[in-house]
Amino acid sequence: MTRYVPEIPGDGGAYVNAATTIYLYPAVKYMECIFGLMLLSNRFVLLALVLEMPTTVTIFWLNTFIVATPRQLFTGPQELLMNGLLLLAYSGYMAAIFRPRLMPQWLWDGAKVNEPGTRNAPISMPKAEHSNV
pLDDT tier at 30, thresholds 50, 70, 90: very high
Please give the pLDDT value at position 75: 86
Please indicate, yes or no, whether the overall pTM of this predicted structure exceeds 0.85.
no
The conformation of residue 76, written as its DSSP 8-state character, comes to H
Q: Residue 20: name the closest of 5, 40, 36, 1 by CA.
A: 5
64 is in which domain, residue-wise?
A: 10-97
- Residues of the chain above pLDDT 90, percent: 36
The reply to whether 26 falls in a domain is: yes
What one-character-per-residue DSSP string does 5-67 give? -----HHHHHHHHHHHHTTHHHHHHHHHHHHHHHHHTTSSHHHHHHHHHHHHHHHHHIIIIII
The reply to whether 128 falls in a domain is: no
- In this structure, is the dihedral angle defined by the CA atoms of residues 32, 33, 37 and 38, taken in order, positive or negative? negative
The reply to whether 86 falls in a domain is: yes
The reply to whether 24 falls in a domain is: yes
The reply to whether 113 falls in a domain is: no
The reply to whether 107 falls in a domain is: no
The reply to whether 131 falls in a domain is: no
CA atoms within 13 A on the CB side of 101: 5
pLDDT tens digits for range 49-85: 999 999 999 989 988 898 888 877 888 899 999 999 9
pLDDT tens digits for range 44-53: 999 999 999 9
The reply to whether 55 falls in a domain is: yes
Q: What are the backbone angles phi and psi of residue 90, rounded to the nearest 5°?
A: -105, 10
> What's the structural domain count of the chain?
1
